[in-house]
A and B are shown apart, each in its own frame.
Chain A
Amino acid sequence: MQYKIYRFVLLISLLLWLTSCAAQPEAGSVSTVASSSGATAPSNTITAVKVDTLTTDSAAAYWANAPVSTVHTKATEKGKADGPDVNIQAAYDGKNIAMRLEWADTTESNLNKAWTWDGSKFSRSKDLGDRMGVLFPIENNANFSSKGCAGACHNLDADPEKWWMGSESADSRFDLWQWTAASSNPVGQAQDEWMGAQEDPADMESATHSDALKSGGSVSNVNKAKDGPAFMGNDLSASFIITGEQTPIDTSKLTQGAVIPPSILAPWVGSRGDVQAKGVWKDGKWVVVLLRALDTGNDEDLVLTPPKAYPLGVAVFDHIDLVGHTTTADVLTLEWK
């Protein structure tokens, strides 16, 4: 008797097996939605390799062993052209992390609203410098972890003036490392900033704050009448002036069309200066290395604890303002090897 039942069970099972092998997966069923294969595309994962000691040298030997993730950047404004692909690598030692970012840019824009001498007076240019930013949530953030930059970007209003970046609540913050060709690169830094919730709807950057500063930083190069620069650099061909390397403006030394940098720069000392940076523009591309302590000890900063994976986003500003920047569309993940 029991063998009869078993034969029956066996038969049913065989039938099930055959049906299951013959049938094709059908779109829309629970299972297909579910298993249309999981992990994010490999290029969205940046794997930091372990090295002995880090530097900001973009040609350091260890970069040859660090996997390159190529990520695409997209315009925040609908209908605008995409930005460049960015090749990202990362490395870490016991104390620091370094990220090497490389992207194509046909023009080196290392002046931001500089002064131009026309032979009789100064005028302020509207040209902006190139910039690049790396954004991490400081606290665990479900929205950003699945959407990336879009999770911090509030760009749905028809009027771009009303857009803003930041988080929905004050206890969910972002750590922003902002590298600027004109003002942070010359002092070997990227500005360390943080973003919280929106504070003033009229100001699109009201959620963004610079980290605390003990001393240093740049001062505006403007005369008392505000119609020209107060200083010029000792080296007139340089695109920047470092504090201590300036002399009072002497127009007799300027030729027509001479450009005077708009700020006198000095490295930030304090939490704002946590991120070291070195960027070089050559052969139509920027190569920038950022270097920061895994744990800066400052409250405005994300503490990186390998082997925890971190979500991040990258934005590129090709001599353009906030509205015009291009950002990585999907969330990037920083992992550690």
Chain B
Amino acid sequence: MSIIEQPISPYREVKDQTETSSGERATMATWIDERTGLVSANRAFLSWPVPKYVERNLLYSLGGLTLVSLIYQFFSGICLLFYYDPSAEAAYNSVDYITYQAPLGWLVRSIHHYNASAIVILVFLHLLRTFFFSAYKAPREVTWLSGVVLFLITLGFGFTGYLLPWDQKGYWATRVGTEMAGQVPLLGSALAQLMRGGATLGQLTLNRFFVTHVALLPGALVLLLALHLYQHRYHGVAPTISKRGQIRARHSVPYFPNWVIMDVLLGLGLLALLIYLSWHERAPLAFPANPADTDYSPKPEWYFLFLFHLLHYVPGRLEPFLIVVVPLLVIGSMFLLPFLDTGEERRPWRKPVTTAVALFYVAVIIIFTFLGS
């Protein structure tokens, strides 16, 4: 006879009382499970059957790897917070201390620095994977939409993090960034004011970027990620587009270890790479921000370079137009995609227009990133 009364609950299965009664050893796991239900929930989570085509397939590890990379980013970010001081006077000195004096500070900051780029690349590749596999199609629209928001959050992390060391690089790039926002027709000045907390970059700007970077965006990311991953579970893996995959789809394998193992191994590989890069060359720190130094030539983080460089090619009066149109076009079409491409066809080569538009965007981004660098 089980020691626990089992009230009827919609959230947990009522166990067959006789199963756990006399004769069975009450292990720790059953003890915990009887009280929390976590062990069987975990078992169900891990044994989730997934189609065989995800097994040992790099393309299906991109989402998992992004997740692992985000975990590294949270961990390193929290470690940085032990030393980082978000005041305009002390921020630079605190990052200087982290980079050159705090024990292993160089490693933590460099991992956070290189991993920020890794996340942007991984999210982008994961986005391309799910795009080319048409995984945004019904009923997975919400998975895709939450993904688009996650993508924007990731870029938001990159933009706000860049200012935090309060060095020349971050200061001037942010100054240009907020000036660009200020050029948006109608909303511009309110937007720039909101970002800066005043007419110029100062303590309030740093406060806002800091809070956004370490509280608002992490909170939003966790919520969106929960939705994203729940949707993924709820709908299961989207159908494959390859013939070989379709044959393999007839068989399923458990999520753990068959799918997860690849994510874990790649995650360890990524960590090794981050440590190597950090050891090879620690995260750069430019000289401290000098608002009076108007000769300084700003350069944004590489993942914003394409937009920055695109501006180079338009006459000054068209800049406000470009600043609004390019992001609206790219992000807008990402949001609209699942509602526009509603056909049955999943193979990209059979929907040349959708594919061509996407390839065009990717080409513009890549070409202008290289031209700008």
Does the CB pair A9–B316 fall under 8 Å? no
B96 an interface residue at 8 Å Cβ cutoff? yes
The answer to whether B141 has its CB under 8 Å from any CB of chain A is no
Binds A, one of B123-131, B149-157, B204-212, B296-304: B296-304
Query: Does A202 touch B at the CB level, under 8 Å?
Result: no
The answer to whether A308 touches B96, judged by C-beta atoms less than 8 angstroms apart, is yes
The answer to whether B329 touches A13 (Cβ under 8 A) is: yes
B316 touches A29 (CB 8 A): yes
Residue-wise, chain B 175-189 has the 8 Å CB interface mask toward A (1 for contact) of: 010011001000000
Q: Which B284-299 residues have a C-beta within 8 angstroms of A?
A: 285, 287-290, 292-293, 295-299
Interface centre among A7, A21, A145 (most CB of B within 10 A): A145
Q: In the complex the two chains form, is A13's CB within 8 Å of B361's CB? A: yes
- Chain A at the B interface: mostly helix, strand, loop or mixed? helix
Q: Which residue of B lies closest to A143 (CB)?
A: B290
Per-position 1/0 for A116-152, Cβ under 8 A of B: 0000000000000000000000001111011100000
A79 contacts partner chain B, Cβ-Cβ < 8 Å: no
A14, A20, A145, A305 pick with most chain B CB within 10 angstroms: A20
In the complex, chain A residues whose CB is within 8 Å of the CB of B333: 9
A141 touches B298 (CB 8 A): no
Are B288 and A31 in contact, with the CB atoms below 8 A?
no
> How far in angstroms is the closest Cβ of chain A from B310?
6
In the bound complex, do residue B364 and residue A10 qualify as a contact, i.e. CB atoms below 8 Å apart? Answer: no
A26-67: contact bitstring with B at CB < 8 Å (1 yes, 0 no)? 101111101111100000000000000000000000000000
Q: When each residue 7-28 of chain A gets 1 if its CB lies under 8 Å from chain B and 0 otherwise, what string results?
A: 1011011101101110111101
- Which residues of B sit under 8 angstroms from A38, Cβ to Cβ? 296-299
Contact with B along A133-176 (1 / 0, CB 8 A): 00000001111011100000000000000000000000000000
Contact partner of B313 (CB less than 8 A), chosen from A20, A34, A145, A311, is A20
Tell me how far the C-beta of B168 lies from the nearest C-beta in chain A, rounded to whole angstroms. Answer: 7
B340 within 8 A of A: yes
A140 and B310 form a contact (CB under 8 A): no
Are the C-beta atoms of A146 and B312 separated by less than 8 Å?
no
How many chain B residues have a CB neighbour from A under 8 Å? 54
Q: Mark B265-292, 1 if CB is under 8 A from A, else 0.
A: 0000000000000000110010111101
Q: Indicate which residue in B309, B325, B372 contacts A16 across the interface (CB closer than 8 Å).
A: B325
**Complex formed: what's the CA distance from A242 to B76 in Å?**
58
Q: Could you tell me the distance between the alpha carbons of A3 and B341 in the complex, rounded to whole angstroms?
A: 8
Residues of A within 8 A of B340 (CB): 2, 5-6
Taking a contact as CB atoms closer than 8 A, the residue among B288, B297, B308 that contacts A140 in the complex is B288
- For window 37-80 of chain B, which residues contact chain A by CB distance below 8 Å? none
Beta-carbon nearest neighbor of B284 in chain A: A309
Decide if A30 touches B183 in the complex (CB within 8 Å).
Answer: yes
The CA-CA distance from A100 to B167 in the complex, in Å, is 30
Q: Once the chains are docked, how many angstroms separate the CA of A140 from the CA of B322?
A: 39
Q: Is the CB of A29 within 8 A of B353?
A: no
B residues less than 8 Å from A5 (CB atoms):
340
Q: Which residues of A contact B17 (CB under 8 A)?
A: none
Cβ of B183: which chain A residues have Cβ within 8 Å of it?
A: 30
Q: Give A37's nearest chain B residue, CB to CB.
A: B297
Indicate whether A308 sits within 8 Å of B312 (C-beta atoms), given known contacts A35-B297, A37-B297, A38-B299.
no
- Closest residue to A1 on the B side, CB-wise? B340
Does B314 sit within 8 A of A, measured CB to CB?
A: yes
Q: Are B288 and A26 in contact (CB under 8 A)?
A: no
Q: Which of B176, B309, B319, B353 has the most chain A CB atoms closer than 10 A to its own CB?
A: B353
B360 touches A10 (CB 8 A): yes
* Residue pair B341, A2 in contact (C-beta under 8 Å): yes
Residue on B with the closest CB to A30? B179
B311 at the interface (CB under 8 A from A): yes
CB distance from B188 to the nearest CB of A (A): 12
B327-344 at interface with A (beta carbon < 8 Å):
329, 333, 340-343
Q: Which residue of the partner chain, among A2, A13, A20, A308, contacts B310 with CB atoms under 8 Å?
A: A20
22 pairs across A/B with beta carbons < 8 Å?
A2-B342, A5-B340, A9-B329, A9-B357, A10-B356, A13-B364, A16-B329, A17-B360, A19-B314, A20-B322, A24-B313, A29-B311, A29-B316, A32-B312, A34-B308, A141-B288, A142-B287, A142-B288, A143-B290, A147-B293, A308-B100, A311-B287
Known interface pairs A30-B176, A30-B319, A147-B293; 15 further A-B residue pairs with C-beta atoms within 8 A, sorted by A's residue number:
A6-B353, A6-B354, A10-B357, A16-B322, A17-B360, A29-B316, A30-B179, A34-B299, A34-B308, A35-B298, A35-B299, A140-B93, A142-B92, A142-B288, A307-B281
A interface residues with partner B (beta carbon < 8 Å): 2-3, 5-7, 9-10, 12-14, 16-17, 19-21, 23-26, 28-32, 34-38, 140-143, 145-147, 305, 307-309, 311, 331
Binding site for A on B (CB under 8 A): 92-93, 96, 99-101, 168, 172, 176, 179-180, 183, 281-282, 285, 287-290, 292-293, 295-299, 308-316, 318-319, 322, 325-326, 329, 333, 340-343, 353-354, 356-357, 360-361, 364, 372
Q: Which 10 A-B pairs have the closest CB atoms?
A: A31-B311, A145-B287, A29-B316, A146-B293, A2-B340, A38-B297, A142-B288, A142-B290, A20-B313, A146-B290
